[in-house]
């Protein structure tokens, strides 16, 4: 009997099939009720008692081997049948396309991260606003030109519903319901009724910062600005403050940084001045504090606001503002290696 087992094992090892029909024939020949292996099991009765154990084991092994062998033949034919013959499985796979973060998101996150190291936390407000939060509470006179239809997108008149033209509206919303100390940073999208060109868009992004506490001084503002500029544009960066005017700050200033393209020597980007303007800032006007219910005799504060597109242009030299909203993949993919 052991010879028979060995012979069948050899046969099984040598089996090959080119179609599933042949595999089925093998199964019938070896494993079906009247197949060769069950027949051997029938002969098992005649095996002497002292060999029964070894023989039983050999028989079981043969049966398992046959089942595996036939299944393997069937599987290899089945997968070969479904595989696309035009596929070249030896080719190296195409790289998996990874998405990239939008340059404005990268820069916004970096601004937030720098200010968060100074203890500022993010505050957000609605894009659809009212006159009070965008203008009146921020000390804009009733006839201030920024309220004009030329600038502001009105959704409704009387009562006014409009798209915010700056993120300074978040300042008044936070001050209204928060006791100082207040230290917030407000990123967001803003809207202005401008003709779209390489240099202007009807929507863009700003980040506003506000610090209100006892004894906040212009020196605190200046030092915060210097820290921000050096973290953002490198430790060599110089800043300068020029007097300016905003209804909600007094005194007000605009900040320039030494041109980060030419290092301040003068180039076409900085119009050969060595300086580029990056933000507006100032001490919060006491009228604004009072409008928002904060005692201006006890508290003072500073505020600043910057355009995210502008900072991004300085970092990455994007020449046309429209690139930011067109979602051209070739443009976006350039930022794949940026963090």
d(CA 168, CA 288): 11
Tell whether residue 301 is a contact of ligand DAH (CB under 6 A).
no
Tell whether residue 249 is a contact of ligand DAH (CB under 6 A).
yes
d(CA 219, CA 217): 5
Region from 7-15, 214-222, 270-278, 279-287 binding ligand DAH, contact rule CB under 6 A: 279-287
- Cβ atoms of residues 182 and 189 within 8 Å: no
Token digits of residue 238: 């110089």
Contacts of 23 (CB under 8 A, 6+ apart): 17, 70, 73, 74, 77
Beta-bridge mates of residue 277: 256
| Beta-sheet strand order (sheet of 161-163) | 128-130, 161-163, 154-156
Q: Which of 293, 291, 303 is nearest to 179 (CA)?
A: 293
By C-beta, is 264 or 280 nearer to ligand DAH? 280
CB of 251 to ligand DAH, least distance (A): 10
Tell whether residue 280 is a contact of ligand DAH (CB under 6 A).
yes
> Distance of CA 18 to CAs 75, 79, 255, 336, Å?
12, 13, 80, 50
CB of 122 to ligand DAH, least distance (A): 15
What burial class does residue 188 get, using C-beta atoms within 10 Å of its C-beta: 0-12 exposed, 13-18 middle, 19+ buried?
A: buried
CB of 213 to ligand DAH, least distance (A): 16
Size of the site for ligand DAH (CB under 6 A): 11
**Pick from 110, 131, 208, 256: which binds ligand DAH (CB under 6 A)?**
208
**b/e map 120-145, b = 16+ CB within 10 Å:** beebebeeebbbbbbbbbbbbeeeee
CB of 279 to ligand DAH, least distance (A): 7
By C-beta, is 8 or 303 nearer to ligand DAH? 303
Tell whether residue 282 is a contact of ligand DAH (CB under 6 A).
yes
By C-beta, is 114 or 304 nearer to ligand DAH? 304
Contacts (CB under 6 A) with ligand DAH, residues 166-195:
166, 168
Tell whether residue 135 is a contact of ligand DAH (CB under 6 A).
no
- Bond preceding residue 300 cis, omega within 30 of 0: no
**Pick from 8, 62, 186, 304: which binds ligand DAH (CB under 6 A)?**
304
CB of 246 to ligand DAH, least distance (A): 4
**Pick from 201, 305, 308, 309: which binds ligand DAH (CB under 6 A)?**
305
CB of 274 to ligand DAH, least distance (A): 23
Q: Report the interface residues with ligand DAH, using CB under 6 A.
A: 166, 168, 208, 246, 249, 280-282, 303-305
């Amino acid at each position: 009997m052991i010879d028979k087992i060995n012979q069948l094992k050899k046969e099984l090892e040598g089996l090959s099939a080119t179609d599933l029909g042949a595999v089925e024939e093998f199964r019938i020949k070896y494993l079906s009720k009247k197949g060769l292996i069950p027949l051997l099991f029938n002969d098992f009765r005649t095996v002497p008692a002292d060999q029964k154990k070894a023989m039983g084991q050999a028989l079981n092994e043969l049966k398992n081997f046959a089942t595996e062998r036939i299944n393997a033949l069937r599987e290899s034919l089945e997968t070969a049948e479904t595989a696309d013959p035009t596929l070249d499985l030896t080719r190296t796979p195409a790289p998996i396309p990874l998405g990239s973060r939008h340059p404005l998101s990268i820069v916004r996150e970096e601004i937030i991260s720098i200010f968060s190291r100074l203890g500022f936390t993010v505050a957000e407000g609605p894009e659809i606003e009212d006159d009070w939060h965008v203008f009146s509470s921020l000390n804009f006179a009733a006839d201030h030109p920024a309220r004009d239809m030329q600038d502001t997108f009105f959704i409704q008149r009387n009562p006014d519903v409009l798209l915010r033209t700056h993120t300074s509206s978040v300042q008044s919303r936070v001050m209204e319901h928060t006791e100082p100390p207040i230290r917030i940073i407000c990123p967001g999208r803003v809207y202005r009724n401008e003709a779209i060109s390489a240099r202007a868009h009807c929507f863009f992004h700003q980040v506003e910062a506000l610090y209100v506490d006892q004894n906040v001084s212009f020196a605190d503002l200046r030092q915060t600005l210097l820290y921000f500029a050096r973290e953002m544009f490198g430790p060599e960066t110089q800043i300068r403050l020029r007097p300016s005017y905003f209804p909600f700050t007094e005194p007000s200033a605009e900040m320039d940084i030494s041109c980060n393209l030419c290092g301040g020597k003068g180039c076409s980007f900085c119009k050969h001045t060595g300086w580029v303007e990056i933000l507006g800032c100032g001490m919060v006007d006491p009228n604004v504090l009072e409008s928002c219910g904060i005692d201006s005799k006890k508290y003072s504060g500073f505020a600043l606001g910057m355009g995210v597109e502008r900072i991004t242009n300085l970092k990455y030299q994007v020449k046309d503002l429209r690139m930011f909203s067109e979602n051209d993949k070739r443009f976006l993919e350039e930022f794949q290696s940026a963090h």
